[in-house]
Structure 1
Amino acid sequence: MDEVYDVVVLGTGLKECILSGLLSVDGLKVSLTILFTILWFYVLPTNLNGDLLNHMQQVLHMDRNDYYGGESTSLNLNQLWKRFRGSDTPPAQLGSNRDYNVDMIPKFMMANGGLVRTLIHTDVTKYLNFKAVDGSFVYNKGRIHKVPATDVEALKSPLMGLFEKRRARKFFIYVQDYEESDPKSHEGLDLNKVTGRDLISKYGLDDNTVDFIGHALALHRDDSYLDQPAMDFVKRVKLYAESLARFQGGSPYIYPMYGLGELPQAFARLSAVYGGTYMLSKPECKVEFDTDGKAFGVTSEGETAKCKKVVCDPSYLPDKVKKVGKVARAICIMSHPIPNTNDAHSVQVILPQKQLGRKSDMYLFCCSYSHNVAPKGKYIAFVTTEAETDNPEVELKPGIDLLGPTDEIFFDTYDRYEPTNQNSVDNCFISTSYDATTHFESTVKDVISMYSQITGKTLDLTVDLSAASAAAEE
């Protein structure tokens, strides 16, 4: 720990691990705090020649916690029981402890989205296997419906009447054909000036149609996008359709085999290839500041790793963040898929705020033994939302009621934080807490923004997505 590093990364949450991977690829000397020691000869390819070894940057890994992954860890059944029930002896009828990998921050990846592009950019896909998610649904007028994302699906959807289907079809054709560099596809609209509301008015779409397009396709969390330039709205809908087409399955999402806990481990392997050294259970990782208030290192057990910049999650610098909300969630173990989802083994259902008379959308996430996160015949479902009350059991009831019978159910809440510091002043780069969404789009935006702040560069994610297709199991 006597080395001087370019960056010290505190925390093994997914955001911190992605940033460590990106910085390692850039050739920075990085210190990433993580839990488990991964043997050098296990993670480092044996066929690397001496020249490459000499050019690799040294990376130090530590963690104050006794588990891997930070807030985004995955738990086996015994760990889940101990965390929520205070005991590590769950009922035998739930199956083998080792067959469970229960994500604490459950999210799917858009197949054509930012996280997949980041995985390919860093070559982390070689450590992972993915499988397409079976279904993408939206709650509308008390029922669950498949989300239509193309002009063909719009004509088949029971969400709309005959005339509305025709209007929606024209809108989807416009989005599918839109190319920012081709004025002929713009139909006379400047999407950097025209608002989302103006664009929707042009096609005469009714409120229910706007609701599922804005929230289940564009993945907006509120309706503020309607009064903003329509460019982002169109790009989001286009991304959904492109992701859906990538695997030609029932949804635009993919998900790693064995759960999201595989992602931090994959980025840890990447960091090891660039010269990583691992230390475990490092207590009280304290960020050190000089008289000018600039971070210059991290101290643990009397030793200080010096650095130029510190990257961390909010828990490491609580005096430099503010609380901005709270997430409520229910974690459910079931013996059946979510009803009315075509028996999908993995599925996302979005409940738009207006459909529930709420300020925030609600999300259902379900995965199962098909992704190796539960024993055969078992399903893991989550219901999450931005908390608007102090009673998660009541607040989450509309989503829980859609699940059918549950074998076990756990309720939980956690606070969300955002940084308040100026990183140009203190050299500290703090991630935001994970939101209630069950997709990674907002997570990746935070990572890319932090990367630009840390490096002063724009991350180029214009990569060949065929690697994602190769890594995914149909």
Structure 2
Amino acid sequence: MTEAHPQIDPTNFDLIVLGTGLPESLIAAAASSAGKSVLHLDPNPFYGSHFASLSPDDLSAFLSSSSSPHPPSFPGDDPATVGLATLPLYSDVQISSSSPEVIEEHCRKFSLDLAGPKVLFCADKAVDAILKFGTNHYLEFKAIDASYICIEKGKLMKVPDSRSAIFKDKNLSLMEKNQLMKFFKLVQQHLDPDEDGSAKVSEEDLETPFSEFLGKIGLQQKIKSIIMYSIAMADHNQDNVDISEDILRTKDGIDRLALFHSSMGRFPNASGALIYPSYGQGELPQAFCRRAAVKRCLYVLRMPVVALHIDQDDGQYRGIKLASGQDLFSPRLVLDPSFVVPSQVGSSVEEPVKIRSQKDAEAKVARGICITRASLMPDVSNLLVIYPPRSLCPEQDTAVRVLQLGSTSAVCPPGMFLLYLSAICSDSSQGKTLLNAAITAVEVSQISERNAMNKNEDAEVEKPFILWKATYIQKLCMGKYGSITSTPSSDGNLNYNDLMDATEKLFHSLYPDEAFFPEATSPGNT
């Protein structure tokens, strides 16, 4: 037994989890808290798996390794043991740098999110879970300072997120301000009905497309776009209900507005609705792993699993074989989405757990990461930009989101910024087109801002804005439960609500009578 592959004791567990991504970490933490003996393994030398935050070099290596299939390495001579393979979650990986010496000098000061852009709404399910399970003791957050939306001719407009912001906004006419105020009042009245219990939006209207309802109450296109894409966070084009893939109902649209407004000012250090974890999104799964460790979950990194043990009679899962040669056993197994369950393993009924951005089994999400030398907006470090459908190019059917983070979030050196881009796409070609169009748009926007500040256009403006860039296409995988549970991949949503719902369903498929998030106790208590 080598030092790299230590002996694990005990050898029998209630649950074995392979991969330390967010869904796997949530399940391990919840199972540990319910008193189950849990072994949590990861073949990688870091926590987070496909939700990790990595340096540029480590991210490049991980994307390269995860963009090609890995067939089973176990020879499979034993009929009661079958090899475990992995499938490629990433494709079309392209990485380039205009200043490699600068990136190399500061490489370890970057923390790049593999699954970005992601943020948390202050009142969403992920934040509630963090507070309820006590993982807030291991996390710090920074506020997203402002959100912007692309309006006519590529111009970025700050999203008005409060009554005072609406009336101060110079991009809105008086009529548009009144329309927006009346709409928010209508939503508030619907969420807090009169004493007689009557709602202000009819049941019939609640089932109609949100875009149609906004038009019905007289909102102009610019106001509709702000509401649908920068507050309700719709993914697909909502203006053509006949051909759009994912039409938002009025009921769902109002629920998302309610989340946005309940998130505003929930915490004293975040006046807006959105927050981001310091040091990167990879801190989230690691925090749940730390909490699970308090509950006696056993963690081992750098530990590949090469095969599964199955019952020779019915083919049901019995245990795992490690690369060290050690055999471990459990009645239940949870795998991250990159692992392929061999066909020899019997399954009772495999049921997919669908989430909103994965309705199409073949859907993908295009992701991009840029390291830049300046902020998109003067004096704003952390910000979100929404490019609604058709705002970048005529063939743009889905919204493109761009999240900028600065050194205040402890993800990059001072004077540099990270840009995360994402868009749901049907194929790689479409995804790359959207990413390239968005990257071009942010470059043009940044140059325009700097030229406006410096009329002389000194040499600094001529330096490349983007120092390093990575683009890739990620496969969307649904979670499945059966004899072996597979967790979902990171989705195309801005927040974690749908992923939280899917993970909770998977947990209850394992343990129907256990609470997913028991009330938190002191981190020192077990």
Q: TM-score category by the smaller chain?
A: 0.7 to 0.9
1:67 is the counterpart of 2:103:
no
1:213 counterpart (227, 241, 249):
227
Question: Does the C-alpha gap of structure 1 residues 441 and 353 become closer, same or farther in structure 2, counting only changes over 3 Å?
Answer: farther
2:356 is matched with none
Aligned length: 429
* Distance in 2 (alpha carbons) for counterparts of 1:15 and 1:97: 28
Question: Does the C-alpha gap of structure 1 residues 451 and 147 become closer, same or farther in structure 2, counting only changes over 3 Å?
Answer: farther
1:385 is matched with 423
Query: What code does the residue aligned with 1:176 have?
Result: Q
Contact kept in structure 1, 2:421 and 2:435, CA below 8 Å = yes
Contact kept in structure 2, 1:151 and 1:172, CA below 8 Å = no
1:44 is matched with none
Question: Does the C-alpha gap of structure 1 residues 158 and 410 become closer, same or farther in structure 2, counting only changes over 3 Å?
Answer: same
Query: What code does the residue aligned with 2:387 have?
Result: L
2:32 is matched with 24
Question: Does the C-alpha gap of structure 1 residues 176 and 157 become closer, same or farther in structure 2, counting only changes over 3 Å?
Answer: farther
**Counterparts of residues 293-442 of structure 1 (less than 5 Å):** 293-300=315-322, 301-317=324-340, 324-339=362-377, 342-356=378-392, 357=394, 358-387=396-425, 388-390=427-429, 394-400=433-439, 401-403=441-443, 404=446, 405-419=465-479, 423=481, 426-442=482-498
RMSD of aligned residue pairs (Cα, Å): 3.3
Percent of aligned positions that are identical: 24
1:149 is matched with 161
1:280 counterpart (301, 311, 327):
301
1:135 is the counterpart of 2:146:
yes
Structure 1-normalised TM-score? 0.80
1:98 is matched with 108
Contact kept in structure 1, 2:193 and 2:199, CA below 8 Å = no
Question: Does the C-alpha gap of structure 1 residues 117 and 92 become closer, same or farther in structure 2, counting only changes over 3 Å?
Answer: same
SS of 1:235's equivalent? Answer: helix
1:119 is the counterpart of 2:130:
yes
1:216-266: CA deviation from partner (whole Å, max 9, x where unpaired): 111222237996653322111011112122247564111111112222221
Question: Does the C-alpha gap of structure 1 residues 164 and 398 become closer, same or farther in structure 2, counting only changes over 3 Å?
Answer: same
2:261 is matched with 241
1:14 is matched with 22
SS of 2:46's equivalent? Answer: coil
> Which one has the largest radius of gyration?
2
Shift of 1:27: 2.4
2:507 counterpart (451, 470, 474):
451
Question: Does the C-alpha gap of structure 1 residues 185 and 216 become closer, same or farther in structure 2, counting only changes over 3 Å?
Answer: farther
Contact kept in structure 2, 1:140 and 1:355, CA below 8 Å = yes
1:384-427: CA deviation from partner (whole Å, max 9, x where unpaired): 222444275543133212143212222222222225x5x3xx32
Gaps (5+ residues) in structure 2?
1-7, 63-93, 239-243, 343-349, 353-359, 447-464
* Distance in 2 (alpha carbons) for counterparts of 1:458 and 1:128: 26
Question: Does the C-alpha gap of structure 1 residues 273 and 131 become closer, same or farther in structure 2, counting only changes over 3 Å?
Answer: same
1:173 is matched with 185
Question: Does the C-alpha gap of structure 1 residues 169 and 391 become closer, same or farther in structure 2, counting only changes over 3 Å?
Answer: closer
Higher normalized helix content (fraction of residues):
1
SS of 2:330's equivalent? Answer: strand
1:161 is the counterpart of 2:217:
no
1:257 is the counterpart of 2:278:
yes
Where relative contact order (Cα < 8 A, 6+ residues apart) is larger, the structure is: 2
Query: What code does the residue aligned with 2:50 have?
Result: E
Query: What code does the residue aligned with 1:168 have?
Result: L
Gaps (5+ residues) in structure 1?
34-62, 468-474
Question: Does the C-alpha gap of structure 1 residues 186 and 289 become closer, same or farther in structure 2, counting only changes over 3 Å?
Answer: farther
* Distance in 1 (alpha carbons) for counterparts of 2:211 and 2:308: 47
